[in-house]
Amino acid sequence: MTTARRTLRRSPRRRDRRGRGLRGLMYPATTPASRTRAEKFDAMVLEALEPIELRWGSELSDLDLAVDEVPEVEETSPDDVVWGQGVLADVGVPLAQLVPAGVDPEGLPSRARIVIYRRPLEARARDGADLADLLHEVLVEQVAEYLNIEPDAVDGGES
């Protein structure tokens, strides 16, 4: 039998009701450990682009870089999907895309940009070093296509 007095003595619900500890930030927001996977990936993209930008900076001044989580797919059947020009794909999955300069849907001029797809690249990499190498290779391929030169020239060969 429960009385009003007994109900009042019951301990209030605690925040740590399953013994997992208090919830909140494990690391201060200023430390690298507190960054999300997307933020870490963005930093890796910029790191991979740095040597290319040092060498080809003046030619790349009109090129933007974007990171999307996954590519947009209108057809779901692998037989029906045909990727346009500028798409770097691996086994039918786009890793990056070079979008040429042109006019956007609103009729405004747009700059050329390389779009890197985070999830497909992360899925193909075994670890962080492998992902950094893969990012560098993808960026070299896309910059070479943008500049209309061989990838070896972008990566350090003679231009």
| CA atoms of 34 and 52, how far apart (whole Å) | 28
5-19, 41-55, 86-100, 140-154, range with the lowest pLDDT = 5-19
* pLDDT at 136 > cutoff 90: yes
| CA atoms of 116 and 61, how far apart (whole Å) | 18
Give the chain's radius of gyration (CA, Å): 24
| CA atoms of 150 and 159, how far apart (whole Å) | 9
| CA atoms of 154 and 140, how far apart (whole Å) | 6
pLDDT tens-digit series, residues 10-43 = 555 555 666 666 666 666 767 766 778 888 999 9
What DSSP designation does 66 have?
A: E
Q: What is the pTM of this model?
A: 0.73
What DSSP designation does 33 have?
A: G
**Residue among 140, 120, 122 nearest 131 (CA):** 122
Residue 133 has a pLDDT of: 94
pLDDT tens-digit series, residues 55-65 = 998 999 999 99
Per-residue confidence at 150, pLDDT binned at 50, 70, 90?
A: very high
Q: Counting beta carbons within 10 angstroms of the beta carbon of residue 113, is it exposed (0 to 12), middle (13 to 18) or buried (19 or more)? A: middle
Per-residue confidence at 66, pLDDT binned at 50, 70, 90?
A: very high
Report residue 95 as tokens.
Answer: 């890793």
